Amino acid sequence: MYAIVDIAGQQFKVEKDKKLYVHRLQAEEGATVEFENVFLIDDEKKVDVGTPNVKGAKVTAKVISHLKGDTVIVFKKKRRKGYKVRNGHRQFLSEILIEEISK
């Protein structure tokens, strides 16, 4: 069984007992969060597609930890002008564990 769900503005394919890295959530570590923007649920027998959301469906997850992602280097250069800029960025992430998908 899997579901397509909207978490922090992005769509993810989630399955029970899977871990995900999502944009930082406003929840404590160890807290349980529910996502109600479920777009699709597939349970091997039947596929429910929402218009836009599946009625009464929700995904329950537990926040495992908050962390920062890998460094992404942003390098800008204009040739023959002597212009070079190097910046780095690390995204704030939350690691979550999907506990339940319910209809």
Domain-embedded: residue 85: no
Domain-embedded: residue 52: yes
Which whole number is the average pLDDT over 77-81?
Answer: 98
pLDDT digit string, tens, across residues 13-30: 999 999 999 999 999 999
Structural domain for 46, as ranges? 2-66+94-102
Domain-embedded: residue 75: no
CB 51 within 8 A of CB 79: no
Domain-embedded: residue 39: yes
How does residue 98 score in pLDDT terms, banded at 50, 70 and 90? very high
Residues with Cβ < 8 Å from 55, sequence gap 6 or more?
none
How does residue 35 score in pLDDT terms, banded at 50, 70 and 90? very high
As for how many domains the chain has, the answer is: 1
Q: What is residue 10's predicted lDDT score, i.e. its pLDDT?
A: 95
Q: What is residue 103's predicted lDDT score, i.e. its pLDDT?
A: 85
Domain-embedded: residue 82: no
Q: Which residues of 21-48 are buried (b: 16+ CB within 10 A; e: fewer)?
A: ebeebeeeeeeebebebbbbbbeeeeee
Domain-embedded: residue 53: yes
